[in-house]
Amino acid sequence: MHQPHLDFALALHRRLPAAGNLPWSPYSVASALGIAAAGARSDTYHQLAAALAPGGALDELGRMLAGSAEPREAEVAVANTLWMRAGWHFLDEYQRQVRDWPGGTVRSADFAGDPDGARVGINEDVARTTRGLVRDLLAEGVIHRDVVAVIVNALYLKVAWLNPFEEHRTVAAPFQAPSGTREVPTMRQQESLPYAEAGGWRMVTLPTAGDVVADVLLSDSGETVPSAEAVAALQRATRPVKVDLHLPRFRVEAASTLNDHLRHLGVIDAFDRDLADFSGISDEGPVWIENVIHKAVVRVDEQGFEGAAATAVVMRTISMDISEPVPFYVDRPFLLLVRHRRSGAIYFLAQVVEP
């Protein structure tokens, strides 16, 4: 597991709203902010680097994200697009760096003359990449005449379980949600699966035929978010065990603005018009980040996993068997972590409290 990326994912997850379902994509957020950081200088760069790859390096993060952009045996789409204000000068070297990212594209938009038309065009592009799952990423009013650039990452991922759940075994079962115990459609299977216990958490890993795996994490201590060390320890300790798995079938989605949460991680200068230094993007005037907007949808059923996410950075100027299976009944809030098996890139992290 690439520890800096895991550190970032769990640190930001801890800052996001604790109540309710919370799916999001560390991969998408890190990609969009990584592209912004490529044009940052001085403290603006160092703060973004420290948040996105704590204790690591941004170039290593970029290589990891690129290396996990085309997982085997998965339907995947990744787009990284720099939408540039028409008539504004963007440095050639920065445009080249954007094009080097997976799905990297540079496009022009009439932010000054037709800001809402530009917004609609960006939303339509995101919807195409995400197979229609992420719509209306940018709300009315987000794009205005002072917008200089919008950096957008869009991600779509669909994978099939190596051991699909049998649909006829899905039954209503109690789930202890914050709103009270209620019946939810619950999938069931007994299989030999990677399993581990560590740090007050238990984890079962659902494999696919390719490079993507999904970790289902249950807390035995009442803790809502594990430490990066606990997750890494669980992933190291997994061993094949016969598991009696009961897992809710669910679809969750959420949208949020990440500005304040990123500030808590030390990203300060990038949001300040007097302190931000994005001189590696343009030499035409002061540029700073006005909004970081994120939206994600995650669905799990008997056949597999499907997820889509988009992040917009809006910038402006001014095998072992046992006789008895280990019970793993997901009957209370849980975390789902969908990752690239080899590199550790975290495509999606979902907190499910009301399936």
Contact 190, 204 (CB under 8 A): no
Domain assignment of residue 148, given as a range: 3-159+251-316
pLDDT, tens digit (0-9, with 9 covering 90-100), for 334-348: 899 999 998 899 998
Query: In terms of domains, do 196 and 49 share one?
Result: no
CA distances 228 to 206, 217, 218, Å, are 20, 13, 15
Residue 318: per-residue pLDDT: 66
Pairwise CA distance, residues 185 & 173, whole Å: 6
Pairwise CA distance, residues 249 & 184, whole Å: 8
Query: In terms of domains, do 42 and 144 share one?
Result: yes
Query: In terms of domains, do 310 and 288 share one?
Result: yes
Pairwise CA distance, residues 98 & 81, whole Å: 8
Find, among 194, 196, 197, 233, the residue nearest to 214 by Cα. Answer: 194
Query: In terms of domains, do 44 and 148 share one?
Result: yes
- Residue 124 sits in a domain whose CATH number is 3.30.497.10
Number of domains within the chain: 2
Contact 247, 302 (CB under 8 A): no
Query: In terms of domains, do 67 and 144 share one?
Result: yes
Average pLDDT value for the chain: 94
Query: In terms of domains, do 155 and 276 share one?
Result: yes
Query: In terms of domains, do 176 and 50 share one?
Result: no
Q: Where are the alpha helices (DSSP H) in the chain?
A: 3-15, 26-38, 42-52, 58-67, 92-100, 115-129, 228-237, 259-264
pTM for this predicted structure: 0.95
Query: In terms of domains, do 120 and 32 share one?
Result: yes
Query: In terms of domains, do 177 and 279 share one?
Result: no
Encoded tokens for 134? 């992420």
- Residue 212 sits in a domain whose CATH number is 2.30.39.10
pLDDT, tens digit (0-9, with 9 covering 90-100), for 197-223: 998 999 999 999 899 999 999 999 888
DSSP calls for 140-193 = TTSS-TTEEEEEEEEEEEEEEBSSPPPGGG-EEEEEEETTEEEEEEEEEEEEEE
pLDDT, tens digit (0-9, with 9 covering 90-100), for 61-97: 999 999 999 999 999 999 999 999 999 999 999 999 9
pLDDT, tens digit (0-9, with 9 covering 90-100), for 126-166: 999 999 999 999 999 999 999 999 999 999 999 999 999 99
Encoded tokens for 165? 């759940």
Pairwise CA distance, residues 98 & 83, whole Å: 11
CB proximity list for 12: less than 8 A, separation 6 or greater: 26, 29, 258, 261, 262, 265
Find, among 88, 60, 93, the residue nearest to 150 by Cα. Answer: 88
Contact 283, 92 (CB under 8 A): no
Residue 69: per-residue pLDDT: 95
Encoded tokens for 155? 């991600």
Residue 18: per-residue pLDDT: 73
Across the range 176-184, mean pLDDT stands at: 92
Paired residues of 198 in beta bridges: 201
Query: In terms of domains, do 31 and 119 share one?
Result: yes
Query: In terms of domains, do 285 and 307 share one?
Result: yes
Query: In terms of domains, do 155 and 217 share one?
Result: no
Residue 3: per-residue pLDDT: 84
